């Protein structure tokens, strides 16, 4: 238990939260002690401090991490995040969540995650390219198409992935597109990958709405975090299901309109102005007000630790769909469950991203590419069947949806570990 004890500092430490979520499932499953130790511990943690020459000629040293949690079911898979608040414990938590996520949707992957402590908003494109290429070089012994495959996350995108692919390929002397997913389509990316996380969230919301008999036409939606995951979910819910998007937010603040916000207009406004705040026809809100708005569906799509014991009681949504990783603490989970709200946990709700990343990796390895309609249909099948499995488990075991998803995921990873055995 040495690793676990050393990292427990407070209730909002993401790795502590991840371990507590795991413990709830391990207790429920009666998991044997040795296996419990293996699975609640990360396998590899890599830290690098690397220099980048900035545009003004100064040299800055950045810190980056890559953590692999478990490789029992296949190569490690997980995104790379650029953010000033990245910590090793956050990356460890995100890596562990990736293991469970891949297991819930039956992808043949283990979990990993990476991050660089930086403020990308204050950096030029040239500086971001240098940082990415140097970080990739530092990671080179660890990543690879059969060992560990990065993808986009907060503040990284298809351009970042193209730089990673190019840098890794330059080191080998030929193109290796399958080393990374979320690339632009013209260099081996997959159709549908940019929208995959938000689209997957929407498929799980559709299943949840059917279960609680909520009519999605004119259902009200609130989205915290209007980035890749959040803006796509809002756009599809409006366009395909006629939901009313009451409020959305980004780091500049939240905006509200009782008549409904057009997500396409919000995307265009944010692109032009760099922020949502001040969009004509909307009123400003605080983050706390946004979370407490009366609505049918709340989508946390920003960062960890947003729904807590201190504010969970104020949340009124009937469905909470976690597009973000780790937005809800275990205490808040309990409150929402007791209040009869349906929470679709991150390891299920946002698994669409890694699912289409898996499709991209398969296409790259075969050098044979699929049409977007085929990809979206395969994604729908995986998301809806995984949701149904988790819901059935929740009903059977009388537990909340997160615990149900963990019971399924931890069992699958534990089975793989048992059958492979402990080497040597």
Sites of contact with ligand NAD (CB under 6 A): 152-155, 197, 224-230, 249-251, 287, 301-303, 323-325, 350, 353
Smallest distance from ligand NAD to CB 284, Å: 13
Neighbours of 175 (CB within 10 A): 15
Nearest residue (CB) to ligand NAD, 293 versus 399: 293
User: Nearest residue by C-beta to ligand NAD?
Assistant: 227
Nearest residue (CB) to ligand NAD, 206 versus 250: 250
Both structure tokens of 398: 């009388």
How buried is residue 104: exposed, middle or buried, by Cβ count under 10 Å (0-12/13-18/19+)? buried
Both structure tokens of 228: 């890749």
Nearest residue (CB) to ligand NAD, 291 versus 399: 291
Q: What is the secondary structure of 288-329 as a DSSP string?
A: HHHHTS--SEEEE-S-SS-B-TTTGGG---SEEE--SSS-B-
Torsion angle defined by CA atoms of residues 47, 50, 54 and 59, in that order, rounded to the nearest 10 degrees: 130
Strand order in the sheet with 59-70: 44-53, 59-70, 110-117, 76-83, 148-152
Nearest residue (CB) to ligand NAD, 19 versus 224: 224
The number of helices, as runs of H, and strands, as runs of E, in the chain is 15, 12
Smallest distance from ligand NAD to CB 229, Å: 4
Neighbours of 236 (CB within 10 A): 20
Q: What is the secondary structure of 368-419 as a DSSP string?
A: ----HHHHHHHHHHHHHHHHHHHHHHHHHHT--HHHHHHHHHHHHHHHHHHH
Smallest distance from ligand NAD to CB 368, Å: 23
Q: Which of these is catalytic: 77, 92, 101, 113? A: 113
Smallest distance from ligand NAD to CB 226, Å: 5
CA distance linking residue 77 with residue 167, whole number of Å: 19
Nearest residue (CB) to ligand NAD, 111 versus 230: 230
113 as an active site residue: the answer is: yes
Smallest distance from ligand NAD to CB 36, Å: 26
Smallest distance from ligand NAD to CB 250, Å: 3
Q: Looking at the DSSP assignment, which residues form a beta bridge with residue 247?
A: 222, 256
- φ, ψ for residue 395, nearest 5 deg: -70, -45
Phi-psi region of 225 (alpha: psi -120 to 50; beta: other; left: phi over 0): left
Q: 3-state DSSP: the chain helix, strand, coil percent, rounded to 5?
A: 50, 20, 30
Smallest distance from ligand NAD to CB 274, Å: 10
Nearest residue (CB) to ligand NAD, 68 versus 228: 228
- CA distances to 11, 71, 83 from 17, rounded to whole Å, are 7, 21, 20
Nearest residue (CB) to ligand NAD, 251 versus 411: 251
Question: What positions carry a catalytic annotation?
Answer: 113
């Amino acid at each position: 238990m040495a690793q676990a004890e050393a990292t427990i500092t407070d209730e909002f430490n993401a790795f502590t939260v991840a371990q507590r979520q795991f413990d709830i499932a391990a207790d429920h499953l009666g998991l044997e002690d040795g296996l419990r130790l293996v699975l609640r511990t990360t396998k590899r943690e890599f830290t690098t401090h690397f220099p980048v020459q900035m545009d003004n000629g100064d040299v800055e040293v950045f810190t980056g991490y890559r953590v692999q949690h478990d490789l029992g079911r296949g190569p490690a898979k997980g995104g790379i995040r650029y953010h000033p608040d990245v910590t090793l414990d956050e990356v460890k938590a995100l890596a562990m969540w990736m293991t469970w996520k891949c297991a819930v949707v039956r992808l043949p992957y283990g979990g990993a995650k990476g991050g660089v402590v930086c403020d990308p908003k204050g950096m030029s494109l040239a500086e971001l390219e240098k940082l990415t290429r140097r970080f990739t070089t530092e990671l080179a012994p660890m990543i690879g198409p059969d060992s560990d495959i990065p993808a986009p996350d907060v503040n990284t995108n298809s351009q970042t992935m193209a730089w990673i692919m190019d840098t890794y390929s330059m080191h080998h002397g030929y193109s290796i597109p399958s080393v990374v997913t979320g690339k632009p389509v013209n260099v081996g990316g997959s159709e549908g990958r940019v929208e995959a996380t938000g689209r997957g969230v929407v498929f799980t919301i559709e299943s949840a709405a059917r279960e609680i008999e909520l009519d999605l036409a004119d259902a009200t939606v609130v989205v915290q975090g209007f980035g890749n995951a959040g803006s796509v979910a809002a756009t599809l819910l409006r366009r395909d299901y006629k939901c009313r998007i009451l409020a959305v937010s980004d780091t500049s603040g939240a905006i509200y309109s009782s008549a409904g916000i057009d997500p396409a207009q919000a995307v265009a406004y944010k692109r032009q102005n760099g922020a949502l705040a001040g969009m004509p026809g909307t009123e400003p809100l605080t983050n706390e007000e946004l979370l407490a708005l009366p609505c049918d569906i709340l989508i946390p799509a920003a960062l960890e630790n947003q729904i807590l014991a201190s504010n969970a009681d104020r949340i009124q949504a009937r469905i909470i769909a976690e597009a973000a990783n780790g937005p809800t603490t275990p205490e808040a989970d309990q409150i929402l469950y007791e209040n009869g709200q349906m929470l679709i946990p991150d390891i299920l709700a946002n698994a669409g991203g890694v699912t289409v990343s898996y499709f991209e990796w398969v296409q790259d390895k075969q050098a044979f590419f699929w049409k977007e309609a085929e990809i979206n249909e395969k994604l729908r099948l995986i998301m809806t069947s995984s949701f149904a499995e988790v819901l059935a488990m929740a009903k059977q075991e009388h537990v909340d949806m997160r615990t149900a998803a963990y019971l399924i995921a931890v069992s699958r990873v534990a089975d793989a570990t048992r059958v492979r055995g402990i080497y040597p």
